[in-house]
Each structure stands twice: as C-alpha cells, then as structure tokens.
A and B are shown apart, each in its own frame.
Chain A
Amino acid sequence: MSIYSSLPAPKYSDPEIMYAFYQRLFPFRTLFQWLNHSPTPSNDFGHREFAFTLQNDAYLRYQAFPTADLLRKEVLRLNPSRFEIGPVYTTNPRERKTLRKASAFRPLAKELVFDIDLTDYDEIRTCCDKANICHKCWSFVTMAIKVVDAALKDDFGFKHIMWVYSGRRGAHAWVCDRRAREMDDQKRKAIAGYLELIRGGAQTSKKVNIRRPLHPHIARSLDILKAHFQTDILTDQDPWQSDERFATLLKLLPDKSLNESLRKKWESSPNRPSTSKWADIDSLAKTGASRSLDRKALLEAKQDIVLEYTYPRLDVEVSKKLIHLLKSPFVVHPGTGRVCVPIDTRRLEEFDPLGVPTVTQLLDEIDEWDRREGAVGGGNGSQGNGSQGNGNDDPANSQERRLQDYEKTSLKPYVDYFRAFVASLLKDEKVLKRERNEGGADAMEF
C-alpha cells in the first residue's frame, strides 16, 4: 500500500501530497526553459514575477528566481497550494523597493494570455452552473479554443500558443511568440477587442451586434461554430425547450408575424425540442407565415443567434494587461486536485477534463509502478534524489534509463507535449536572437 492511498480520504491540498507532487512530478526544468527562452539563465527568467498562494491562503507577490533549481527549492520550502506567473520586469522584482525612482520598475514582457471560464456561459448553459462542469458544457471551451486559436494563428501570425486546462471549469491560453510577449497594453487591448463579440451585461437583450458583410474573422468563426451549434447547443443544451425559455429565442427574431406563428405552434406542442424549434423558423418562413418577411434580416438574426450561443466568451480583462498574473501550467487545482495540464489542440476533441489525472492518482501511479518494477528499489522516490536539481523532468539526465517519476504516470503525455512545445519555441528564439544580434551590430555604429 502506498502511504498516499492509505491516508483516509485525502484532501487535494494536503501539504504532504502537494510536497510530494512538487518534489517528484512538477516539470520545473521545462517550465524554466519555457520562460527563459534559452538553456542559459537570463533576465527573461530571473526578472520574472512569481506569486505564491500558501496553504494558509497568504499571497506572496514579487517573487523571482535566477534558476530553475532555486525556484524548485523555494517551492519545496513554501509548499504553496498554487502559484501564478506574471511579467518580466525591468529589474529583479525582489529589488523593486530599493530603486530610487518607482518608475524604473515596470513590466517589460509577458505572454499574451486568455482566460475562458464556463461561469461566463451560465446564462446559456442548461446542463450545469457555477463551478460544475460536464462533457456537454466542456464543448463550449472546445469551441472557444478553436475560434481563438484560428484567429491568433491565421490573422495575427502567432505560432507558439499553448492551451492549458485550468483544473476545473475552463482553459487558459499562453501565446509565447516574442512578438506577442513584447506587446504593450494598447496592443493587447486591440487583440482582445478584435476577438470580443458578446457584449453587454445581464440586462442587454441582444448581445451580438455586428456589421454586415461579416468580417472574415467572424465569417470563419461562424463556419467553425455552425456544426457545433447543431449538436452541442440544439441537441445537448436544448436551450429553448421549455415554454418559459422559448420567449428568449423569439426576442432575438425580427419578424413579428412570423414570431406569432411560431409562438402558436410551440405553445400547442409543449416541450418541443430546440432542434425542431430551430427548424420551424425556416419552415414557417417558407410557408409564408409573414407577408412582409425580410429574408436577409431573418438570416442575419439567425447568424447572430448561432454566435450568441457558441462564440467564445472571454474574460478580456485578463488579456488586456501586461501586468496581470495567471496560474502556472502544471499546478494543482485545490478544489479538484486535477493538474493544470496542457491541451493538445491537434486532438482537441479528445480532451476530457474529467479524465485529467488528479495529484493523488499520480502519486498512486508512481507507487504502483515502483511496486511492479520492485528491482529498481524505490526509483526516484527518495529525498536525496530529488535535490539533484534536475527539475523532475529531464529523461536525458537519468542514467541507465532510470525513469523519471513523471514517466511512470499518466502525466507523461502532458509533460512530453510541454517539452515539445518548449523545444519548438526555443528553436525560433535562437533564430530571432541571431537576427537581433546582427541587427544590433549595425545599430552600434550610430
């Protein structure tokens, strides 16, 4: 029996469990390379702000570390329940108070980030609310990722975009291209505005107001979303099934006489499914339910409805500010115990938030493996081994192919994905650095 599974009903944020997670599984080395953009420690990592939430809920901001190993040591010492990543500053964030002028301490760079949270969908999702999610409503996140990812790549030309499960009911995006990292707030706000479509508070009845013809970004999004609308919205969410709810739909349709016919039809067949109601709109329109029907207005209203029910609802405030912090990938969500793993967008539809490993499950998997392969004698589990500073995630360093702990668990595919992502980022950084240095040599002459 593992010492972890023998504990009575483990709380996910138990300090011991978190400690074991950081000590044996958290991919510090890859995280370092990701933020440092090169294998040699630089200011990209050293001046980067980390913020820790401790077990007693104290919040420590402006932490910074010269190397992956020092970050790891401090994480093991403080054993935070989670931590966040902020921007790279002009100087070491720890020294901000010693500067003579406050303005000398300012944020320089950070990945462009996005936050999708299912609570922002509460007024249109019928299956769950608040912190709860199921496979049905996860498709809202899938749709959002598809639309935002396509725009960031095709329109803005970004290449290095990592999507990360937030551990409970949403996803974060980290856009890591240098061009994205160096954007000021105005440019971040521009991208947020470009992507934002659903506007207006609880009191705004029509939340989509867009120009015709549709901007190519909206047209492309609509293409992506149409298929989802049929299955994920009409069938799975069935948003207008009940009599109280179909009024919401009618409010969004433009033709009064057509609406009257629809209302009669729907009142006479209670609880008619949304799929049929949606089809009724066109079939009644065709039979001439309204003499003055403006077909173009109807089509546009229907497009608007599809968008209102499928288009990403981003928490744009998070994206607009360089200075904003965001939870680090691979930390553990304290409420669910699930690890905030990256989402492989090539297999986006296969991603199952409810199948993401929890921290206790992972520790059990290590024990299970060690027991099975008993000859290795406890593997990497000892305290001494952990302090080598290899950051838990460097298979090349493990001599005689002694496996790293993460390789014994279902965390492996996620760490491997992260490593590949970072390797590709570093490759492009190298080219950029060379170009910049060459450019720099010229600039020196002036």
Chain B
Amino acid sequence: MIRQDFARIDPKRRATFDHKRKQFATASYKPQEYPHRLNFYEIPPTAEITLEEFEQWAIDRLRILAELEACSFRNKTPAETAAHITPLLQKYLPLSSNTSSSSELANERKKDHYSHFILRLAFSATDDLRRRFARVETALFKLRFQNDDARERQAFVETLNFDWEVVGDDEKRELGAELLQSTPGVRRLEDENWFKLDWERVPELVEGRRVLLKRGKAYVPMREQMSMVVSEFTARLERSLELTSRALPRLDEDDRLSPILSHLSKNFTAPDSTYSDSNAHIPGAPINAGSIDTLSQSFPLCMRNLHMTLRKNAHLKHFGRLQYTLFLKGIGLSLEDCLLFWRQSFRNITDDTFNKEYRYNIRHSYGDVGGDANRRGRGYSPYSCQKILTEHPPGPGEAHGCPYRHFSTDNLTALLQATGVSDRDVLRGVREDVEKKRFHMACNRVFEYAHKGEIKKVKDDGTWGAAELDTIVHPNTYFKRSYMLKHLGAVKQEEAES
C-alpha cells in the first residue's frame, strides 16, 4: 500500500514547467481554460507554479490515490469506496460542477490538472508503477464521472469524438430479441438505444457478456457509456505514461524536481512487496520440511486447504503449487527444505518425474533459476490476499485461491469445521461476510476466534498495540501473527518485528 509519511523537500524554490521538458513542449503558453469538470488530461500544463504548490498538490492527490488503492485492496464495494473517498476528495482535491458557481472553480480544476501531471512524472518510471497509477487514476475518474451532473457529463462526452454509430430503428427492430437478451436490465426495446462499434473498444463488456456481438461489432447500450469512456480514459493514459517514461531521462537533468519526484514514487510501494524478507522470518521457529504439518495449524484457510488437498491427493495443480510454494518461502522455509517437502508430498511420482516437471518451478519461485530479474528479486513475492482473491480463480480440480471467495457456502462451512471452527455464531458471521463479499472480514473473524484467548491476553497486558492487530491482508501475516500468539513468551515481539 501507499504509505503517507510525506517528508518535505526544499520548499523554497520555484518550479516551472518550462520548454526544456519535451512532454510539455507542444502546449502553447496561453492560460488554460477548463470548460468541464472532468478531464482526460490530454493537454499538459504550461503555466508557472511554485515549488510549494508543485509538492503540495502532488501530495494531496497521492493521498487520494493511496486511499483508493487501499479500498480496492480491502475489497470494498464501489458504494463503500465512494462513501469513504468523497469526504477526502472534498478536503484534498475538490472539483465543483459548473452549476455550483463556486469561486474556486478555476483553481480547483487547475490543481486537479497539475497534480495529475506531476504524479504522471513521478510514476512513469517502471511498468509496475505505471500500471498501478493508471488503475487508481481510472478509479478516481470513474468516481467523478458517476457523480457528475448528467448534462455536464454529456457535454464532456461529446468533446471526446468517439466514432460510435447509433443503431438505426430498422436494425434495432431486426435484432430486437437478441439486443434485449444481451443487455441485462432492459425489458423493452423502446427503453434503450444502442450504438455499435468494434468490440475491441469495450473489452470489459465483452468479457462479462453484457453486449451483443455480431461479426466483430459490439452493440452497446447507451447506459454503458461510462464503461466505454472509462476504458478510453485508461487506454489514453497508458499510452501517455509510456511516452512519458521514454521522455524521463531528459527530466533527470532538472535537479530541483527529481528528488521530489523520486520521493513521491518511493511512497507508492507495491502491496505485494510489503511482505519483505526482513519481516517474514520468525527467529528461532523450527521451520523445515518436517515441521510443516504441525505449523499448518497456524496457516490461513487458503493454505490449510492447499495443505490438506496435498496430503489427500499427494498432488497439487500448477497454481496451487505456486501459491503454496511462495507462502512457504514467505514463512522462511529454505529452498532445500521446500524441495524436500514437495518431493516427499508427491509420494506417487518418481524422482525422475519430480526432477523433470516440478523441481525447476520451485527453484524458479525462489529465484534460484530464471532470468536476471527473477534471480535479483529472489523469485516472486508471496501472494497477498488481494492477489489471491483477484487473479486466476480456480478451475475444475484446482485447490488454490481463497476458500472464502471460491468455495460454495456448504463446502466452506465443512472446511471450517474440519479445521476446528464449529462455533455457530462464527460460522454465521462468516456466511454474512461472504455474502457481502467481505472475504478479508471472514478470514479475520476466524483468526480472532481461533486466537481469542491469546489476543485478549496481549491486549490486556498491553504488549501488543492496535498496529500489531490490524486487519490481516496477507496470508504470511496471518501465519506469523498466529505463530507468535501461540508461542507467546517463546518469541519476543521486538525481535520478531525487527
């Protein structure tokens, strides 16, 4: 997640977006006007601003983006996210509508415009940063698009010049039933109008089968306009970020801005890397191939399920092996022990098969083999809950993923009972969490139940504060916290946190 300890850097100097910086070079120098509240950020800023403004505006925007990312990370619904972000936006990055006749209108829009471009500079350096920046900026745009005044929004959309063709009455009648079948929520043809365009322009709608497709054309209902505008926003932003990254080396010459920019981007660390080696290991814990069965008592449900499935079938499919191997790496199992663990677990296959088909992938996960980048990074990071919840949902015969998300309620309940969670209130709570798609909550609920005595103790004697007991969003955090709670006294908190 994005941390927010924004330290100040050299506030006394002035920054200008001057002609030396190529990515801003095409713009003319007349002051920009902002006829619309929404902005596709296609024209770079040109006017002078102070270095204080440069930094403050960027920090304010980053605060919003960090909160947005946290919301998605904690699996909040769009409504919950909007409720959480709206007051923050009001405080740090307000944008009034034309009808509001706010005196701050122009300044708000300028700040929005400039702060976007400053962060673009800060976050265009690596693929990963660009991708995440585009994702949260898209989320922000979407939120604002939804809240915009309908008429102003339409006026804005018309400026985008999309080449969509409105479906005429004859074609609409001809396709009648099919249009209705492919447009959820529309009952009668008279209630909606459609436009058609190349399906590649609306991949999200295609993926969800929410449009009619005919020979490469997608028939999109007018009310899906938002999805289209948003995906166009993302596409254009990704293209510009790519261009910005190529122009970046030139910017390095400006010694006033680069420290600010690099500081900003450092505060935008990736969620997956928050679980680094330094906080993964528990000093003194006996973690080896032979102790995994015992240790699995402290594993979160996703990993216990993988472990139990492995013990039952003497095998796991690809994504299961990957998810589990990275987790085991994260708890501090050495590569040698990990190889030994898998070798022993796959008891129905020969050494030869094991060496040919599995060994390499395990070594790869540890960064023992593979490309330079993989070795340097010591393999992949253990998967966070976010990643497990959103990537590669399990297919037939696969056991990876998050049981809270990917199991049917009955099977989830059975699995929980098999792992010793039989309290009816807890099970009901889990069911409610899962229905509301709060998978983290369900998992944390089970954690709190399974460790209620220990948690009470550390709270009562004040040895653990709120920070040590915040919501678990990473399977390795689950293990570590569980292990430490079960071995209070054996492992000293300070050592473990170092």
Residues of A that sit less than 8 Å from B by CB: 57, 102-103, 120, 122-123, 154-158, 179, 183, 186-187, 189-194, 198-207, 211, 213-219, 313, 315-317
Contacts and interface: CB of A to CB of B under 8 A. Distances in A.
Given A155-B213, A179-B216, A313-B396, A201 B401 contact: yes
Given A194-B213, A200-B396, 17 more contacts: A120-B396, A122-B396, A155-B215, A156-B216, A157-B214, A158-B216, A179-B216, A190-B199, A190-B206, A201-B395, A201-B401, A201-B406, A202-B396, A203-B403, A203-B406, A203-B407, A211-B184
B209 A201 contact: no
Contact of A154 (B203, B207, B215, B410): B215
B397 A202 contact: yes
Best-surrounded residue of A190, A192, A207, A313 (most CB of chain B within 10 A): A190
A-B pairs with lowest CB-CB distance, top 4 = A157-B216, A201-B394, A193-B207, A190-B203
Interface string B375-401: 000000000000000001111111111
Contacts of B136: none
A217 B216 contact: no
26 contacts: A120-B395, A120-B396, A120-B397, A154-B215, A156-B199, A156-B213, A157-B215, A157-B216, A183-B200, A186-B203, A189-B203, A190-B199, A190-B204, A191-B207, A194-B207, A194-B209, A200-B393, A201-B394, A201-B398, A203-B406, A203-B415, A206-B408, A213-B180, A214-B181, A215-B182, A317-B392
A346 B398 CA distance: 35
A303 B182 CA distance: 18
Assign chain B's interface to a size class.
35 or more
Contacts of B410: 205
A151 to B, nearest CB: 8
Given A156-B199, A194-B207, A203 B397 contact: no
Interface string B234-271: 00000000000000000000000000000000000000
A157 B214 CA distance: 7
Contacts of B127: 103
Best-surrounded residue of A179, A202, A313, A315 (most CB of chain B within 10 A): A202
B181 A201 contact: no
Contacts of A120: 395-397
B236 to A, nearest CB: 14
Nearest to A199: B393
A134 B209 CA distance: 34
B396 A198 contact: yes
A216 B203 contact: no
A143 B335 CA distance: 44
A442 to B, nearest CB: 17
B358 to A, nearest CB: 13
Interface string B109-146: 00000000000000000010000000000000000000
A204 B199 contact: no
Contacts of B395: 120, 198-201, 313, 315-316
A217 B209 contact: yes
A102 B245 CA distance: 14
B50 interface: no
B208 interface: yes
A207 B408 CA distance: 10
Given A120-B397, A186-B203, A201-B398, A216 B182 contact: yes
B392 to A, nearest CB: 7
A356 B401 CA distance: 39
B468 interface: no
A338 to B, nearest CB: 22
Contacts of A102: 373
A123 B399 CA distance: 14
Interface of B: 127, 178, 180-182, 184, 199-200, 203-204, 206-209, 212-217, 356, 373, 392-401, 403, 406-408, 410-411, 415
A218 B209 contact: yes
Contacts of A202: 394, 396-399
A193 B207 CA distance: 5
A120 B170 CA distance: 44
Best-surrounded residue of B204, B206, B406 (most CB of chain A within 10 A): B206
A204 B408 contact: yes
A206 B406 CA distance: 11
B182 A201 contact: no
Given A190-B206, A194-B209, A203-B406, A216 B396 contact: no
A211 B185 CA distance: 10
Nearest to B401: A201
Contact of B397 (A122, A154, A205, A218): A122
Contacts of B406: 200-201, 203-204
Nearest to B406: A201
Given A202-B398, A214-B181, A194 B206 contact: yes
A193 B210 CA distance: 11
Contacts of A123: 396-397
A198 B395 CA distance: 8
Nearest to B318: A317
A203 B408 contact: yes
B208 A193 contact: yes
Contacts of B209: 194, 215, 217-218
B407 A204 contact: yes
A120 B204 CA distance: 26
A201 B399 contact: yes
Contacts of B182: 215-216
B207 A190 contact: yes
A81 B195 CA distance: 51
Contacts of A155: 213-215
Best-surrounded residue of B204, B207, B395, B397 (most CB of chain A within 10 A): B395
A130 to B, nearest CB: 11
A134 B485 CA distance: 55
B181 A213 contact: yes
Contacts of B204: 190
Contacts of B184: 211
Nearest to A158: B216
A203 B356 CA distance: 29
Contacts of B214: 154-155, 157
Given A194-B209, A204-B406, A204-B411, A57 B356 contact: yes
A205 B401 CA distance: 16
A215 B214 CA distance: 13
Nearest to B320: A201
A145 to B, nearest CB: 19
Best-surrounded residue of B204, B208, B209, B356 (most CB of chain A within 10 A): B209
Nearest to A215: B209
Nearest to A189: B207
Contacts of B403: 203
Nearest to B313: A202
A386 to B, nearest CB: 32
A205 B178 CA distance: 30
B402 to A, nearest CB: 11
B412 to A, nearest CB: 8
